[in-house]
Structure 1
């Protein structure tokens, strides 16, 4: 998983890791184990785009722009379905440690691929035949759980662009640290994780679009963590729908 590669690289270049738990065993930011970070969502962040969204989750800040449907040479001429392209980039100032250019580019390609896999199942490609919809995600600040925030923001931007969706896609991750499972981890928590689980989910249809897992998990802990993520995704989906309703009412 790209996040694990990023964390390993950061550890190599930063010998001192921030503590994850306080002296009384609680998370440093005051959350309990099954609590998400404070989040903010807004559509219409980029006027030049067909649709766009801005998302904050803790210290993670992402903006996504959607363009199209538009003609493309890469569109399959023999197919009645459209084509979805996803591209993820980090601002140079998004995180203190960006590492070597090649590694950074590889991470962005991995994230672009995972974003595509997470959202394409929710897009009705038949509604824009022989054309392309381009999704551009820019990470303004990396604060942990980057991929879930990117996926959630991209789904919101697609809806804002009027792209026909089977459902919104909400995403969240957990980290396994010292025997505890922490929902919606921060960067410092991800840097100390023994394993991770990321879930992208269509709440209304109750369908998972993508799962990525790293580390070793027992079947019982993996099942419990999956249920925790699905419950969190359902709540995130409610916030996403509220965001779209507020935008439509303006």
Structure 2
């Protein structure tokens, strides 16, 4: 791993010889957010799921790397790219060809994929952006949330997250809803706050024209955190992007099979032209 990077917790499923698909989670959750889609995706791809810093099984950034305001989405993307090279066993020799991979991410996980595709266009063969954005509002609220979590942990967020995450707050009472909120409760404050800092500084609108990968943007019609106009903006600014909408909230858990079919159809044939 590169200096300053700590290896994210991850798991790999599917055939070793299948094309690699990387799945990125949203802030406050873990790789389990992809549990419903994993069996189908693993039939076609070698699937790599990772956890964000301080989330799931991933360590938080070292104190020197997690000073308030220092963490960026580019830092998270660098760690994921180093993880891909570690898992695939590439990138160690000078001149070695590093393989391209497919990527799908929800919210912050989508932002990570967007930066990978913009900065490393030769590495990302296809990009699926689920309930995410080119920017997540002003920096102030994210800085305030980071400060709150550093003081009090993630407990204060458990009351407000169901309304933000789910189109129906009752989803919080389902097994998956309880599991995802459990991930939030268990997140390390330093890692969660560092991710908030990354979102505060994130605005990639000026760089989206550099994305060369065929891109699918999935917008939730009931998404309160990143409403459909965010999905439309991504579709307009990424050169080879098409838009699909799903009747879901911010984490896209209400229609798991629709999301599964949408992603599978795109990722297996990413070169097919997508209507906008």
Q: Using structure 1 for the length normalisation, give the TM-score.
A: 0.28
Higher strand proportion (structure 1 or 2): 1
Q: Using structure 2 for the length normalisation, give the TM-score.
A: 0.26
State which structure, 1 or 2, has the greater radius of gyration over its C-alpha atoms. Answer: 1
Higher helix proportion (structure 1 or 2): 2
